[in-house]
Amino acid sequence: MNAISTTPPPAELEWELPERGRVAMFALIAAEAAIFSIFVVAYLFYIGKSLSGPIPAEVLSPPFLYTVCLLSSSLTIHFAAKRIRSGNVRSFGAWWLLTIVLGAIFLYGTASEWHRLIYEDGLTITTNLFGTTYYSLVGLHGFHVVVGLLGLTTVMVFTLFGTVKQEHAERIDVLSLYWHFVDAVWIVVFTVVYIIGR
């Protein structure tokens, strides 16, 4: 995976430590996972405890299509990272763009679901415990998708300007770690909200 070394390693000490960007991203992911866990715990705790208002079974339908889009974007970003590591910037750009599109479709799905919930089903964050915990949890995840898309779009812009090169592969990898995390969180959120909670 790494570029092939052209000089022999130093005779005395082999000293290789992890890359700082990767370690930092894992640490950040751990912190974010802890934040999400609290919202998930609150969601699970409050299942069935709303005193009034619409309940999940009445208004929620699992967004399978948008979920498939988001989870596929993990696959596309994986391919993109592979391409840039082997130096194929154009192909990288294509897969990267596809990732962004899939993420954007997912966001559109969330938005349209919320539109329906608010205007047709009368469920808002203030309606009841279900409303509060649902919008908070799904919203927090959506916020992380937005942040991720901002990062991905920034890289896209740089790619279009031609400044992204093979040597940036490690940084792309670190960013894609974040994106994989966002997708993994969605798996948890989807299970808790649309399967367990209904």
Partner 1 sequence: MSTESIAWPSTPVESRSFVDRLHEWIATVDHKRLGILYMIYALVFLMIAGIEATVIRIQLIRPHNDFVSPQVFNRLFTMHGTTMIFFVIMPFLFGFANYLMPLMIGARDMAFPRLNAFSFWMTVFGGLLLYFSVVGANGLYGAGNAPDVGWFAYAPLTSRTFSIGHSTDFWTLALLVSGVGSIGTAVNIIATVLCLRCPGMTLAKMPLFAWLNLVMAGLVILCVSPLTAAQMMLVIDRYLGGHFFDTQAGGSAVIWMHFFWVFGHPEVYVLVLPAFAFASEIIPVFSRKPIFGYPVMVGATVAIGFISMSVWAHHMFTVGMSSAANNFFVISTMAIAVPTGIKIFNWLATMWGGKIEFKTPMLFCIAFLFQFLVAGLTGIMQGAAPFDWHLGNSYFVVAHFHYVIVGGILFCLFGAFYYWFPKMTGKMYDETLGKLHFWLFLIGFHLTFDFMHIPGLLGMPRRIYTYEPGRGWDTWNLIVTIGVFFQAAGILVFLGNLIWSYFRGKVAGNDPWDAWTLEWSTNSPPPVYNFASIPEVKSRRPLWDLKHPDDPDWEYE
Residue ranges in contact with partner 1 by CB under 8 A:
13, 15, 17-20, 23-24, 27-28, 30-32, 34-39, 42, 45-46, 49-51, 125-126, 128-129, 132-133, 136, 140
Q: Compare residues 29 and 89 and give the one whose CB is closer to partner 1.
A: 29
Q: Compare residues 32 and 121 and give the one whose CB is closer to partner 1.
A: 32
Smallest distance, partner 1 to C-beta of residue 7, A: 17
Smallest distance, partner 1 to C-beta of residue 144, A: 13
Smallest distance, partner 1 to C-beta of residue 174, A: 11
Q: Compare residues 38 and 101 and give the one whose CB is closer to partner 1.
A: 38
Q: Calculate the dihedral angle through the C-alpha atoms of 125, 128, 129, 132, rounding to the nearest 10 degrees.
A: 0
Smallest distance, partner 1 to C-beta of residue 23, A: 5
Q: Compare residues 38 and 68 and give the one whose CB is closer to partner 1.
A: 38
Smallest distance, partner 1 to C-beta of residue 63, A: 23
Are the beta carbons of 67 and 134 closer than 8 angstroms?
Answer: no
Longest CA pairwise span in the chain (Å): 73
Q: Compare residues 91 and 132 and give the one whose CB is closer to partner 1.
A: 132
33-53 burial, b at 16+ Cβ within 10 Å, e below that, comes to eeebeebbeebeebbeebeeb
CA distances from 95 to 51, 112, 163, 175, 197 (A): 47, 26, 17, 14, 35
Measure the CA–CA gap between 144 and 146, rounded to whole angstroms. 5
Measure the CA–CA gap between 45 and 137, rounded to whole angstroms. 13
